[in-house]
Structure 1
Amino acid sequence: MGTVTKIGIVGMGHVGAHVANSLVLQGVADELYMTEQCSGDEDHSAKLAAEVQDLGDSLAFCPHNVALYNCGEDYARLADCDIIINAAGKVRLASEDRDGELFYTTDTAKTFITPIADAGFDGVWITISNPCDVVATEIWKLSGMDPKRVIGTGTALDSSRLKYALSRATGYDQHSISAYMLGEHGNSMFAAWSAVNFGGKPLAQLREEQPDRFGFDEGEVEQEARHGGYVTYAGKQCTEFAVADAAVRLARAVISNEHYITACSTLMTGDYGEEGFFTSLPCVVGANGVEEVMHFDLSDSELREFQASCAHVKENLSRIGLL
């Protein structure tokens, strides 16, 4: 990567705008290239111009200056970026079902993946749009990129929700909890309870030592993690802060070559018997994207849950002709 960090964003709706704001507030990008559909039935040019203006007005309060570029729908201008974050979607379609955006987001992605690839983009894709695993698979297939350079936010957000739920159940700080939701970013995701630990101490051991503190109902906690997004949506008809921060955390890991371990969506290459599509497992993220996929000794029931989750992703891929 060069000395100037360039990040592009596709889609400046609720999530894309918060991605941009988080990037600026955290000082992650030196140059920010923002695009949006600006023609046809969904002309968002005024919204894009407003977001760019608002971000510019906030720069005096931010860590350092950021050059802001309104690129309209000239997606090829993002080709020189180190990272492109895809936040294009229509959240109201997923108000009751995370698969609700399936055809909209995958059709929309076709309008920008190829122009960006043809312009020579060789950075890292981070995709948020739902169904996240399906869109990540589509970006990989249509762009022809090294799959390690395509990352879906996947269950990074859901793992954060799981930690937050565990923190409230036990009173321990979520930063001291290691816990992962795995599989698709959708209703079939599951908590890998056999791998949960607090400060390195396994949950199973803590349950024996402190039954009062750790006697929470795992099913209820897992459900909180799985459906936390719908609680947010019910109150404000979108989710925006947490998922934007999840994407920016991944961007920071790439820019700083951190070798950061997080759950995120990556290509299955025989993992637990699955291959040829994206879904979430714990990954090591650095300058080149996903550097390594980490594997747990899943219990038999967890393995069945993972396989069922993968089956749902493959079903959606079949619905749009990608599998």
Structure 2
Amino acid sequence: MSVKSGKLVIVGAGKVGNAVLDSVLRLSIIDEIVVINRNRDKALGAVLDASHTTAFEYSTNTSIRVGDYPDCADAQIIVVTAGPSIVKGEYDRSILLKRNIEVMNGVMANITRYTREAILIIISNPLDILTYYFQKKYNYPVDRIFGTGTLLDTARFNKMLGDLCGVDAKNVTGFVLGEHGETSFIPWNTVNIVGVPFQEIGEKFKPSVPIDKEKLLNETKVIGPEIVQLKGYTSAGVSLAACRLIGAIVRNERCVVPVSTVLRGQYGIDDVAMSMPCIIGSDGISRVIELTLDEEGRRDLEVCHAHLRELLESVGA
């Protein structure tokens, strides 16, 4: 069956699934949205609530309905949010590993029964482990399955550095790479603001306080759990990260963003999924960009790789 351009399937109607549904409607770029959830009443509630917004003049008349896995057959994009999320009192995404391996196994078995053409965006955590495990287990096309990864971490870092320097975060070019979790890292030699390299930012932009690299990286890592402690969950940031990818696919933007992908020899690694800058368009990932890392960045990459392999080996991958 041929792929229907503009058709999105959301698997999971929890807080994140609902946030993706609401956010993608505001983008006005999707023609048809199908929501799949084990509890169909919950999916129906989400669909009815969202569908009423299409009556307003600023909204497109997007088709929104409850569906099931056969609806994946002609989907262009499938966003997977199924499974439990980090909750208040938990700080380590790896706590979710065994729970979500089981949940995702059922999801992937059903998706691959109907399609290997759709582009799969994984939000469920720990997403680097899930992306690698299920790409390998189901032999899904490697360029068509990836996680939101450190895209949100990168947005958080750019916002923090932009605020310190008194500039719009969109003027900051800096990636958080590696794991979406405790071993993520920032290749500082590639960070710049409108071309001004990181080591000259203090002189050129006169930040409100001296820039502390370790503090910035740590704040990028802990802000998610802090939001969970305050709010009970996170949804806004990750849903917009997913929508950034959905928009790039639908519009064939060929934008460069960090997503979690199974590595195929980059930096000599081929046995994990982690976030790297990737060119994203209508065919998914067209290229993984291998940044030039300095010695510090190489060490950070090795630590991240070792940690991810340890987690994968714990589930026999």
Instruction: Provide TM-score, normalisation by structure 2.
Output: 0.94
Structure 1 equivalent of residue 33 of structure 2: 32
Q: Assess if the C-alpha contact under 8 Å between 1:179 and 1:195 holds in 2.
A: yes
Tell me how far 1:189 sits from its aligned partner. 0.3
Aligned equivalents of 1:18, 1:96: Cα separation in 2: 22
Q: How does 1:1-323 map to 2 (within 5 A)?
A: 4-37=5-38, 44-61=39-56, 62-71=58-67, 74-92=68-86, 95-209=90-204, 215-322=210-317
1:203-255, CA deviations, whole angstroms, 9 ceiling, x for partnerless residues?
Answer: 11233445655731111111111111012111111100000000110011111
1:234-277 Cα shifts (integer Å, max 9, x gaps): 11111000000001100111111110101111111111121132
The answer to whether the 8 Å contact 1:178/1:196 transfers is yes
Unaligned runs of 5+ in 1: 38-43
Whole-Å separation in 2 of the counterparts to 1:76 and 1:142: 21
The answer to whether the Cα contact below 8 Å between 1:35 and 1:48 also exists between their aligned partners in 2 is yes
Partner of 1:91, secondary structure, is coil
Give 1:170 shift.
1.1
1:204 corresponds to which letter in structure 2? Q
Shift of 1:55: 0.5
Distance 2:134 2:78 in 1: 11
For residues 62-112 of structure 1, the C-alpha deviation after alignment (integer angstroms, 9 at most, x for no partner) is 4311111212xx323222100000111212458221111111111111112
Greater displacement, 103-112 / 139-148: 139-148
Are the counterparts in 1 of residues 166 and 205 from structure 2 also a CA contact under 8 Å?
A: no
Aligned length: 314
Residues 253, 259 of structure 1: 8 Å contact kept: yes
User: In structure 1, what is the Cα distance between the partners aligned to 2:23 and 2:267?
Assistant: 35
Following TM superposition, the consecutive aligned residue runs of length 4 or more in structure 1 with deviations greater than 3 angstroms are 1-4, 207-214
Partners of 1:252 and 1:212 lie apart in 2 by 33
Change (3 A) 1:212 1:161: closer
3-state SS in 1 of match to 2:47:
helix
**Comparing 138-147 and 300-309, the one that deviates more:** 138-147
Contact map agreement 2:166 2:207 (CA 8 A) in 1: no
Q: Structure 2: which 5+ runs fail to align?
A: none
Aligned 8 A contact 2:29 2:247 in 1: yes
Q: What CA distance in whole angstroms lies between the structure 2 residues aligned with 1:190 and 1:264?
A: 14
Checking the alignment, whether the CA contact within 8 Å between 1:207 and 1:214 is kept in structure 2 is no
Tell me if the contact between 1:78 and 1:121 (Cα under 8 Å) persists in the aligned partners: no
| 1:66 maps to amino acid | T
Q: Percent identity?
A: 29
Contact 2:3 2:74 in 1 (8 A): no
What RMSD in Å do the two structures reach over aligned CA positions?
A: 1.7
User: Could you tell me whether the CA contact under 8 Å between 1:258 and 1:285 is conserved in 2?
Assistant: yes
User: What is the alpha-carbon distance in structure 2 between the residues aligned to residue 215 and residue 298 of structure 1?
Assistant: 24
Determine helix, strand or coil for the equivalent of 1:182. coil
Q: What corresponds to 1:41 in structure 2?
A: none
Q: When the two structures are superposed, what TM-score results if normalisation uses the length of structure 1? A: 0.92
Deviations 1:174-198 (A, max 9, x none): 0000011110000110112111100
